[in-house]
Amino acid sequence: MKIKIPIAVFAIVAAALIAVSQIKNELFAPAEDFPRGALVYAQINDLPALIKLWNESKFKDKYLASENFKDFKNRHLGRKLASRWAEFNHAGGFSIDLETAVSLTETRAAIAVYDIGKLEFVFIAPVSDEVFAATKFFLNREKFAEETLGDGTTVYRAKVEADRGRQRQELIFANVGGRFILATSEKLLAQTLNNIKGGQGKNRLSDEPAFAELSGKIEPHTAAVWVNQAALNDDYYFKRYWLMSEARELENIRAGIFDFEIQEKKIIERRKFLLNKKVVIPAFNNAQAAELLSFTTENIPFYRLRSANPAAIAEAFENTIFSREKDAETQTENHRVSYSSFDGYDDYSGDDYDNLSGKFDEIITENDEAETIESRATETNFSGLLQSAAPRRILTFTEPKVLPAPLFVEFNRAAIFDLAAPDKFDRQTFEAEISRRFAGQTMISAPDAKLNWESKIETDSSRRVLKLPATGIEVCYAMHGKVLILTNDEEFLRKITSRKNPVEIAQYKTPLTALTVVNLNRKAEAYDSIFAELSKNNAAEDFFTVNVESLLDSISEVGVIEIRENYSGNLFEEKLILNLK
């Protein structure tokens, strides 16, 4: 399973945490104060220290000046967030910024978001009476209507003209039980006050079954985040504006929890996800990982090792030797039609939301089904082709290479399959199916076209090569003991088979089902030269030559990113490690 989290978000949080030491805390005690029903909950052990670190970091200046951040600000989501925050500022009569956040707490703080479209939230931080009296909220209390509740609690409220006056919202704050509370609705405030004052009933965030289960599986350190993924999967605004991957990839996730920790020269994020259905994937150990990784070459900036399953095998074949574009222009037009009907909607409340949400899901489903049907015409069951040889693990990696004009870059790709029964590998059927796929993808359908495989034999190795006439496309493979090596370039295959070196890898406490490594230490040769050539030849849009390049420059302090994955029953775990230079 791929959990796609935007690298910019992870990098921002990671950079801000670099110098923060691990501090003992009371686990997830703050969640006791929050009402149930939150979509996202976050707690920070020392908010002022975190903000101070962010303000003083080199990453802050680099990222805020980057084209990547500029692009985010100009997108609908960025404009929407900025607009909503401006409405809160107007209601309070002052700027609610990082300086304001620093004044709201001495150390710990937590926030829960209950509606991501309207930004309905509750913020709670422990404060003394002296700290509360110095907050911008209390100093600007004349902008708020003061009200004394039946139990003697004093609250301050201001109306928010939200979404150009189409939504009713409030900004309400209070100081209760040594806590500063900021909420955006009377209902949320009332539930929070009831929890703080020891009210009865299972209305605490900590009472959520998914929260209770996940919070018991992780120890929070500098910062921790919990998400109700099942609710987010049904949220129109999340699916349309926040989601960075296909909705179907998150369907099996009930909830997730993330924890950030700092070690010497490392930033670690631990993710744990509760699954609706169990996923059974065999794991591999250190020795098995090292055996396959020994085939990687010295210039590899990215590789992924995972346990074999039908989906992983199919993806490895498609990414290595077949085009992934599948009439990209047609698909782009389809999606453009899907969204064009909704461009005038900036909110999702009332009848408009109900009608729009249903229509949106219907059209997206129709397009997905149409694309699936279209793709079946050339679909090949490569998992079935290798089934008799019992594949156990798959290593995939890519080596980019800049070429002289008029060509500018090519990507040598490889997929290496560890086979339990290599003697049962059916070469004839394997080659025939690959030939059939390529014949079916030619511009003019030629089912009877003869594509010939050639044998290449050298002193210490042999390989089979298929070259498509007049296209420059190659498919090459070789058996190396129990390993099947598949590439899209003959010279790359020779390089791999002649270079088997012992690899030292980290000692993992538990087996893994996948290991992904991004080596940013190879940025100069693997990325910079490509971006420079793309820019010089005007061969790509600014998104690649400016946006992505600016993001990589922003995280220049990161050397290697490592992602470890493991399935265990209905629990999926990820561990992200940023190794700093």
> Strands (DSSP E) along 264-297, which ranges?
266-275
Is the pLDDT confidence value at 507 over 80?
Answer: no
Q: Report whether the peptide linkage leading into residue 422 is cis, meaning its omega lies within 30 degrees of zero.
A: no
Residues 437 and 464 in one domain: yes
| Non-local CB neighbours of 25 within 8 Å, separated by 6+ positions | 45, 108, 220, 221
Average pLDDT rounded to a whole number, residues 102-109: 85
Is the pLDDT confidence value at 307 over 80?
Answer: yes
Is the pLDDT confidence value at 450 over 80?
Answer: no
Asked if residues 389 and 429 have their Cβ atoms less than 8 Å apart, the reply is: no
Residues 45 and 164 in one domain: yes
Is the pLDDT confidence value at 213 over 70?
Answer: yes
Residues 345 and 457 in one domain: no
| Non-local CB neighbours of 258 within 8 Å, separated by 6+ positions | 224, 225, 226, 227, 269, 270, 271
Q: Model confidence over 141-151: pLDDT tens digits?
A: 999 999 999 88
DSSP string, 426-451: -HHHHHHHHHHHHHHTSSS--TT---
Asked if residues 416 and 295 have their Cβ atoms less than 8 Å apart, the reply is: yes
Binned at pLDDT 50, 70 and 90, residue 556 comes out as low
Binned at pLDDT 50, 70 and 90, residue 469 comes out as confident
Q: Please tell me the predicted confidence (pLDDT) of residue 264.
A: 76
Residue 226 belongs to a domain: yes
Q: Please tell me the predicted confidence (pLDDT) of residue 346.
A: 40
* CA-angle at 86, arms to 83 and 92, nearest 5°: 150
Average pLDDT rounded to a whole number, residues 524-535: 51
Binned at pLDDT 50, 70 and 90, residue 524 comes out as low
Q: Please tell me the predicted confidence (pLDDT) of residue 497.
A: 86
Structure tokens at 265: 């020269």
Is the pLDDT confidence value at 40 over 80?
Answer: yes
Q: How far apart are the first and last CA of the chain?
A: 29
Residue 572 belongs to a domain: no
Could you give the number of structural domains in the chain? 3
Is the pLDDT confidence value at 543 over 60?
Answer: no
pLDDT above 90: percentage of residues in the chain: 33
Q: Model confidence over 373-409: pLDDT tens digits?
A: 344 334 667 778 888 899 999 999 988 765 555 445 6
Of 162, 265, 156, 214, the C-alpha closest to 31 is 214
Average pLDDT rounded to a whole number, residues 246-271: 85
Residues 289 and 362 in one domain: no
The average confidence (pLDDT) of the chain is: 76
Residues 370 and 500 in one domain: no
Average pLDDT rounded to a whole number, residues 227-254: 80
Cα–Cα dist 92/170, whole Å: 10
Residues 368 and 314 in one domain: no
DSSP string, 469-523: TTT--EEEEEEETTEEEEES-HHHHHHHHT----------SS-BSEEEEEEGGGH
Amino acid at site 447:
P
Asked if residues 551 and 337 have their Cβ atoms less than 8 Å apart, the reply is: no
Q: Please tell me the predicted confidence (pLDDT) of residue 311.
A: 87
DSSP state of 204: B
Pairing of strands 40-44, 223-227: antiparallel
Q: Please tell me the predicted confidence (pLDDT) of residue 531.
A: 47
Of 483, 508, 514, 478, the C-alpha closest to 494 is 478
Average pLDDT rounded to a whole number, residues 289-312: 86
Structure tokens at 504: 């030292």
Q: Please tell me the predicted confidence (pLDDT) of residue 26.
A: 65
Residue 25 belongs to a domain: yes
- Number of helical H runs and strand E runs in the chain: 23, 20
Q: Please tell me the predicted confidence (pLDDT) of residue 245.
A: 62
Q: Please tell me the predicted confidence (pLDDT) of residue 428.
A: 92
Residues 319 and 341 in one domain: no
Is 18 strand, coil or helix? coil
**Residue, of 472 and 95, whose pLDDT is higher:** 95
Residues 399 and 306 in one domain: yes
Domain that holds residue 342: 331-377
Asked if residues 112 and 122 have their Cβ atoms less than 8 Å apart, the reply is: yes
Binned at pLDDT 50, 70 and 90, residue 505 comes out as low
Which pTM was predicted?
Answer: 0.74
Q: Model confidence over 53-70: pLDDT tens digits?
A: 778 877 777 777 777 677
Residues 373 and 386 in one domain: no
Q: Model confidence over 338-373: pLDDT tens digits?
A: 333 333 334 433 333 334 334 434 433 434 433 443
Binned at pLDDT 50, 70 and 90, residue 572 comes out as very high
- C-alpha to C-alpha distances, 351 to 90, 348, 356, nearest whole angstrom: 28, 9, 8
Is the pLDDT confidence value at 448 over 60?
Answer: no
Residues 297 and 439 in one domain: yes
Q: Please tell me the predicted confidence (pLDDT) of residue 133.
A: 92
Residue 270 belongs to a domain: no
**Residue, of 459 and 372, whose pLDDT is higher:** 459
Is the pLDDT confidence value at 435 over 80?
Answer: yes
Beta bridge partners of 158: 171
Phi first, then psi: give them for residue 575, nearest 5 degrees: -130, 115
Residue 147 belongs to a domain: yes
Q: Model confidence over 112-166: pLDDT tens digits?
A: 999 888 889 999 999 999 999 999 999 999 999 999 998 899 999 999 887 666 6
Q: Please tell me the predicted confidence (pLDDT) of residue 15.
A: 46
Amino acid at site 575:
K
Amino acid at site 9:
V
Among residues 252, 285, 302, the one where a domain terminates is 252
> Strands (DSSP E) along 327-430, which ranges?
391-402, 409-419
Residue 562 belongs to a domain: no
Residues 147 and 177 in one domain: yes
> Strands (DSSP E) along 212-319, which ranges?
223-227, 253-263, 266-275, 302-307
Phi first, then psi: give them for residue 292, nearest 5 degrees: -80, -40
Residue 148 belongs to a domain: yes
Is the pLDDT confidence value at 466 over 80?
Answer: yes
Residues 299 and 441 in one domain: yes
Binned at pLDDT 50, 70 and 90, residue 305 comes out as very high
**Residue, of 13 and 323, whose pLDDT is higher:** 323
Is the pLDDT confidence value at 7 over 90?
Answer: no
**Residue, of 531 and 175, whose pLDDT is higher:** 175
Cβ-based neighbour number of residue 79 at 10 Å = 13
Average pLDDT rounded to a whole number, residues 96-123: 87
Structure tokens at 60: 């802050």
Cα–Cα dist 224/271, whole Å: 10
Q: In angstroms, how far apart are the furthest CA atoms of the chain?
A: 91
Residue 358 belongs to a domain: yes
Given the structure tokens 């004839």, which residue do they identify? 428
